[in-house]
Amino acid sequence: MPLTSWLSFPVSPWRGSAGLRFSDLSEQQILSLAIALEEEDARIYNTYAEVLAEEFPDSAKLFRAMAAEEDGHRHRLIELYRQRFGERILLIRRQDVRGFVERKPVWLIRPLDLEKIRAQAEIMEADSRRFYAQAARHTTDAAIRQLLGDLAAEESRHESQAERLGDRFITPDAVHSEHQTQRRLFVLQFVQPGLAGLMDGSVSTLAPLFAAAFATHDTWSTFLVGLAAAIGSGISMAFAEALSDDGALTGRGSPFLRGWVIGLMTTVGGLGHALPYLIPHFELATALAFAVVAVELGLIAWIRKRYMDTPFGLAVLQVVVGGLLVFALGIAIGSA
């Protein structure tokens, strides 16, 4: 069998270079499109529920309830379609009609953010309400117009229904628990790799940078050493993190995303005290580099206190003392 036959996918007969105009749709096409929309929305809500089930079980219940409502709409639409047009539902989807906004795939919302998902659900309900209102005005069949008008009214009430479902499923304790979970995921997926990169870039590059500075007293050569150390450390840390655990068991998220985060922050940390050596005056550049180092170490200590629940005094001891030892080592070697 030719390779192309294995790679081919079914294509809707309505797809064209520009798509169909909504005003040209027949009542049969409108009902078929409405059925497809309800199927898609129910599938998206169920997907949200599956994605949220482990970390946010109460919000998952909310989206399952919303999916059940969409399934109810679909059943009513299919029943009326069967009465009017028979058993064969036309294959027509939102991407076949001009002006429809594509649904955002759930995998593009990662890492999980409840507010983004709930905002997307509100957009979906608003899109459905506008569709049913316009479709009702476009049809002349009394039964079809009545059903579409009823669905438009129901979609307009979904926001308040979602609020009632939220009151039922999302209690204050559940909201607090979910916020804590979100914070934990944020720390695991972004803060920890970013902090590790910032510490490595800020501390490990101190010795080669200041060794080069005090050995050569040449600002441009010192900058090149710092630039090479920062970028090299960033690449090394990025690959090491990207090839580590896949995050499935630890909840640390995508290793490739963590690799980008840790690589970027390592490079930023190393460049911070290298950039002052773009100034041609050695004493001024060195004094400014000293100040940048102090700010970097203080920032790292604050981040450890803010997100890692480390007492500030202990964070200062761990970061500043270690950083100063590396800093002094670089100066001693460069001055030898």
How do residues 260-318 score in pLDDT, each as one tens digit? 888 888 888 888 888 888 999 888 988 998 888 888 878 877 777 776 666 767 766 76
- Whole-angstrom Cα distance, residue 146 to residue 153? 11
Q: Which of 25, 2, 1 shows the shortest CA–CA distance to 14?
A: 25
- Whether 6 has a pLDDT exceeding 50, the answer reads no
pLDDT at 172: 61
> Which residues of the chain does CATH 1.20.1260.10 include?
13-170
Q: Are 198 and 265 in contact (CB under 8 A)?
A: yes
Distance, in Å, from the CA atom of 212 to the CA atom of 234, rounded to the nearest integer, reads 20
Beta bridge partners of 197: none
Distances (CA, A) of 67 to 120, 308, 310: 14, 38, 43
* Residue 271, pLDDT score: 86
- Residue 44, classed as helix, strand or coil, is helix
Which of 325, 333, 197 lies closest to 272 in space, CA to CA?
197
- pLDDT digits 0-9 by tens, 170-228: 556 655 555 655 666 666 666 777 777 777 777 778 788 888 888 888 989 989 988 89
Q: Say if residues 31 and 80 touch (Cβ distance below 8 Å).
A: yes
For 206-245, the DSSP string reads HHHHHHHHHHH--HHHHHHHHHHHHHHHHHHHHHHHHTS-
pLDDT at 232: 86
What CATH number is given for 13-170 in this structure?
Answer: 1.20.1260.10
- Answer whether 107's CB lies under 8 Å from 100's CB: no
- Please provide the average confidence, as pLDDT, over all residues in the chain: 76
User: Higher pLDDT residue, 155 or 318?
Assistant: 155
**CA 43, CA 34: separation in Å to the nearest integer?**
14
Average pLDDT over residues 84-106: 78
Mean pLDDT of 315-335: 74
* Mean pLDDT for the stretch of residues 112-139: 78
Distance CA(24)–CA(176), nearest Å, equals: 50
